Chain A
Amino acid sequence: MILWAVAIYMVVGTLIALYAKRGIKTQEDYFLANRRLGGIVSALTYASTTYSAFMMVGLVGLAYATGVGSAGFELMYLVGTVFLLSYYAPKFWSMGRERGYVSPVEVFEDRYGKFVSTLSSIFALIALIPYTSIQIMGSAYLLGIDYTLAVLIVAFVIAFWAFLGGMKSVAITDAVQGVFMLLMAIVAVIWTAKNVAFGIPDSAVFPNEFWTPLRFASLTLPWFFFALTNPQVSQRMFVPKDDKALKRMVILFAIFGLIYTTLVTILGLSLRLGTDLGRFPLVSYRDRVTPTLLSMMPEYLAIAVALSIIMASVTTANSIVLTLSSMLLRDVLKERERIVLGKVFVVVLTVVLIFFALQRPGYIVELAVLSSTILLCQLPLILGVFHFKFGGRVTGLLTLTAGFVTAVVLSLLRVPWTSIAVFFVSFAVFFGVGLIERSKTT
């Protein structure tokens, strides 16, 4: 039955993609929907890209296992994103139009040089490919069929719509799927309230042994700056058609995020209350909480919720593939005219994702968790574009390299404050080298 649901889903998405592919002539058309998206579609594609399967699987489990602190962590991200977008989105948006930026790291090129934008793109590839492979793996497991076939089906869905219609196709399919994701989260909460429990258990207090100030800071820091450092979302600051659409994108995304976060966390907390009341089995591995819930639901409902989780993965993954393709094309190859190579990169990146997903290596999960921490090393350079006059090519290269090496080494050593160290090392190198570079040039 789930294969029928996926088949209908693929047909509907493909029809939308075929509609969206008309009129694509330039890279701006393909990667940015010609900068002409309305506020509602922009908001829904921003939300669908941001909220992956982590929400309905990871965050439900986190709320179940660690209590209300999970909501604080996710809402801190949301408040940080609204704060950053309200200040930087208008700047990115107008710079993108004035200077014709398509890839998000092109903002580095004018300021720090071509090599910095290339290196930044390579680090983004390293950070995001394992993260995107995890999305495919999670969806493939949910399909419950032969794993290889499931990976190929999910990868096809991810690549095909992006390949056909680029950003316009991805944005419209994201919008439809975003609404479905929200509806299914509501359905899951209502079903749980009627059949298991609804409320916050007394044990779910904050702070607790898990939510210490250090862990809260370490988990929150990379997510707080996610809107600026993750290219698949920062590229979306270029797409609204005017300033009203830009504001609508930010506010509607924030409302979506608030509702979705509230639903997902109350679901996890209610299931924990259900366990305390003896109505839901005790689940010790927190990523198994949602699959356990699905196993208790009627089949049609479980399939609909599982499909919404697959959609959350697909909407995140195809946006990342499209953005990475634009970065490979424009920042690594420096090709600024032709589209065809961009489409080739969509296919090539998807093949790489399939390869990673089929290997199922243990380290891939750790790399995926590391993705936002690696990307944090770009933060000083982004803020430098808008706030600091010092710092050029050497500053850019050393800041990125120092932050990247810190992220990889400390995470290999399993240091719990890795993201905090990356944050401080990157800024220390940026300021230190930037001031030296300025004194040498003056």
Chain B
Amino acid sequence: MMIDVAVIVAMLIPFAFKSKLAYVYWIVLSSLYIAYKAWRWKV
């Protein structure tokens, strides 16, 4: 749960930087989160 909340909060970090690189940041962060869920999530 801590990691889930941390990722959701981290999705908001681009508000602190006026940049087009937010695009790459969001894609990388979302990819890492999905990979983490695929690896660690036990149904």
A binds B: yes
Residues in A lying within 8 Å of B, measured CB to CB:
67-69, 71-72, 75-76, 78-80, 82-83, 86, 90, 200-202, 204-208, 213, 216, 243-244, 246-247, 250-251, 254-255, 258, 262, 265, 269
Q: Are A83 and B43 in contact (CB under 8 A)?
A: no
A68-B20, A251-B41, A262-B27 are known; give 14 further A-B pairs, CB within 8 A. Answer: A68-B22, A71-B27, A72-B22, A79-B7, A79-B8, A79-B33, A82-B33, A86-B4, A86-B41, A206-B14, A206-B18, A213-B15, A254-B37, A265-B23
Q: What are the nearest 6 A-B pairs in CB distance?
A: A68-B23, A243-B43, A206-B22, A254-B34, A251-B38, A247-B43
Whole-angstrom distance from the CB of B33 to the nearest CB of chain A?
6
Is the pair A200, B20 in contact by a Cβ cutoff of 8 Å? Answer: yes
**Out of B4, B19, B23, B31, which one reaches A258, CB within 8 Å?**
B31
**Distance from A62 Cβ to chain B, minimum over Cβ atoms (Å):** 13
Task: Please name all residues of chain B whose beta carbon is closer than 8 Å to the beta carbon of A208 when the two chains form the complex.
Answer: 18
Q: For B8, list chain A residues within 8 Å (CB).
A: 76, 79-80, 83
21 A-B contacts (beta carbon < 8 Å): A68-B20, A72-B11, A72-B22, A75-B11, A75-B29, A79-B33, A80-B8, A82-B33, A86-B4, A200-B23, A205-B18, A206-B20, A207-B18, A208-B18, A213-B15, A251-B37, A251-B41, A254-B34, A258-B31, A265-B23, A269-B23
B22 to chain A: which residues have CB within 8 Å? 68-69, 71-72, 205-206
CB pair A250 B11 closer than 8 Å? no
Q: Let me know if A78 and B30 touch, CB within 8 A.
A: yes
Residue of A nearest to B23 (CB): A68
> Residues of B at under 8 Å CB distance from A?
4, 7-8, 11, 14-15, 18-20, 22-23, 26-27, 29-31, 33-34, 37-38, 41, 43
Q: Please tell me if the beta carbons of B20 and A204 are within 8 angstroms of each other in the complex.
A: yes
* Majority-rule SS of A interface residues: helix
Chain B proximity of A278: nearest CB distance (Å)? 20
**Alpha-carbon gap, A79 to B37, bound state (A):** 10
Say whether, besides A200-B20, A206-B18, A244 and B43 are in contact (CB < 8 Å).
yes
Counting residue pairs across A and B whose Cβ atoms lie within 8 Å, the total is: 84
> Do B26 and A82 have beta carbons less than 8 Å apart?
no
What is the predominant secondary structure among interface residues of chain B facing chain A? helix
Question: How far, in Å, is B10 (CB) from chain A's closest CB?
Answer: 9
Residues of chain A contacted by B23 (CB below 8 angstroms): 68, 71-72, 200, 204, 206, 265, 269
Query: Nearest chain-A residue to B22 (Cβ)?
Result: A206
Contact B14–A72 (Cβ < 8 Å): yes
Using Cβ atoms and an 8 Å threshold, which residues of chain B touch A244? 43
Tell me the minimal C-beta distance from A93 to chain B in angstroms.
8
Residues of chain B contacted by A75 (CB below 8 angstroms): 11, 26-27, 29-30
- Given A82-B37, A83-B4, A251-B37, the answer on whether A71 and B26 have CB atoms closer than 8 Å is yes
Q: Which of A80, A243, A251, A258 is in CB contact (< 8 Å) with B27?
A: A258
Q: Is the CB of A72 within 8 A of B43?
A: no
Judge whether A246 and B14 touch: CB under 8 Å.
no
Contacts of B33 in A (CB 8 A): 79, 82
Which residues of A lie under 8 Å from residue B20 when comparing CB positions?
A: 67-68, 200-202, 204-206
Contact residues in B for A200 (Cβ distance below 8 Å)? 20, 23
Quote the shortest CB–CB distance from A79 to chain B (angstroms).
Answer: 6
User: Is B7 within 8 A of A207, CB to CB?
Assistant: no
Smallest CB gap from A204: residue in B: B20
A contact residues around B15 at 8 Å (CB): 206-207, 213, 216
A253 CB, min distance to chain B CBs, angstroms: 10
Residue from A71, A72, A206, A247 in contact with B41 in the complex, judged by beta carbons closer than 8 Å: A247
CB distance from A201 to the nearest CB of B (A): 8
Choose one: B18, B26, B29, B34; the contact of A255 (CB below 8 Å): B34
